[in-house]
């Protein structure tokens, strides 16, 4: 069994631990009303997007998400939260150094032996969710769950849905599809982006992701017989029928969107297996991107 298969299967237990940890780490996490930016690279950036939408949607204050390399240094934030499994990603460390003293910083990391421990003012270590696979699954969703629990938005039902996502077979015929589009709304947009990234990294699949209402504004042209469109969360009125009328497969998101991401991770691993790929070591990827000083 691949590392990623093992790691993605342990997400329910990891989420329970993160939710239990959230209370004791509250002092390092934003209080309601603070102006917050959440940052990361790759998978961590997409988790940042989801967390930012959750917090702002819960009325806890303006919350932005940025790729670490695109941080708008002209803006003022009370707190910057950096997500980095490895704790070594260059763009994240550079950002933390630049905002030091201007905003309080908190890093969520999987490795307590790395430079991020010194680079941030506060650190939450989620080493129980660290991974051996290059491809991130459980660290990302565990970091998001810690934040979700801190925002008061995590429930036991989410963990139950993750167990369902792991136990149920994938929809018949999905692995054989030639193209995949993931759709989100609100916080599930970041999750849809992450599902698409996972499919590209682990399975070299042609995948895209959009806000659900944007899909009709162009991307639906791709959809036809042989493709699949997967909604994370409640679908906008009429969209499922519109996709089916093209001949494309519609996959409804019946579970909590984070559990739907678990299903998509499983799909990526299944497609990798069908294509004879090693999902733990995608081509051209490393555990983290560490750039030489320029
Ligand atoms: C972020 C990241 C991963 C990506 C790849 C390179 O790492 O971009 O999301 O899949 O492995 O690194 P990190 O800062 O969360 O360690």
At 30-41, the pLDDT tens digits run: 999 999 999 999
Confidence of residue 293 (pLDDT cuts 50, 70, 90): confident
Confidence of residue 55 (pLDDT cuts 50, 70, 90): very high
Domains and CATH numbers, the chain: 3-154 (3.40.50.10490), 161-274 (3.40.50.10490)
pLDDT value at 203 more than 70: yes
Q: Supply the residue whose CA is at minimum distance from atom 12 of ligand 1.
A: 288
Model pLDDT, residue 77: 98
Give the chain's length: 294
Cα distance between residue 151 and residue 30, in whole Å = 9
Ligand 1 mean position, distance from CA 172 (Å): 31
Ligand 1 mean position, distance from CA 168 (Å): 29
Stretch 46-53: mean pLDDT: 98
41 lines ligand 1 (CB under 6 A): yes
Ligand 1 mean position, distance from CA 134 (Å): 8
Q: Supply the residue whose CA is at minimum distance from atom 2 of ligand 1.
A: 42
pLDDT value at 225 more than 70: yes
Ligand 1 mean position, distance from CA 57 (Å): 26
Confidence of residue 1 (pLDDT cuts 50, 70, 90): confident
Stretch 108-123: mean pLDDT: 98
193 lines ligand 1 (CB under 6 A): no
């Amino acid at each position: 069994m691949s590392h990623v298969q093992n790691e993605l299967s342990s997400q329910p237990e990891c989420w329970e631990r993160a939710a239990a940890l959230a209370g004791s780490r509250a002092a390092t996490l934003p209080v309601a009303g603070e102006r917050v930016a959440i940052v990361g690279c790759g998978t961590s950036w997409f988790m940042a997007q989801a967390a930012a939408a959750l917090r702002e949607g819960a009325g806890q204050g303006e919350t932005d998400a940025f790729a670490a390399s695109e941080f708008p240094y002209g803006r003022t934030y009370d707190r910057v939260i950096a997500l980095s499994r490895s704790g070594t990603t260059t763009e994240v460390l550079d950002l933390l150094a630049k905002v030091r003293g201007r905003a309080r910083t908190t890093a969520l990391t999987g490795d307590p032996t790395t430079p991020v421990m010194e680079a941030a003012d506060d650190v939450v270590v989620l080493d129980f969710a660290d991974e051996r696979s290059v491809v991130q699954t459980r660290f990302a969703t565990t970091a998001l769950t810690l934040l979700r629990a801190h925002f008061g938005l995590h429930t036991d039902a989410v963990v139950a849905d993750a167990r369902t996502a792991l136990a149920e077979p994938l929809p018949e015929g999905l692995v054989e599809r030639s193209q995949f589009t993931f759709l989100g709304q609100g916080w599930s947009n970041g999750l849809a982006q992450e599902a698409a990234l996972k499919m590209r990294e682990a399975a070299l699949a042609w995948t895209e992701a959009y806000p659900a209402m944007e899909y009709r504004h162009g991307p639906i042209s791709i959809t036809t017989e042989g493709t699949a469109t997967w909604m994370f969360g409640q679908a906008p009125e009429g969209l499922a029928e519109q996709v089916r009328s093209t001949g494309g497969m519609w996959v409804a998101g019946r579970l909590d969107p984070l559990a739907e991401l678990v299903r998509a991770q499983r799909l990526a691993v299944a497609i990798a297996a069908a294509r004879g790929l090693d999902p733990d070591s995608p081509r051209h990827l490393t555990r983290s991107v560490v750039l030489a000083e320029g």
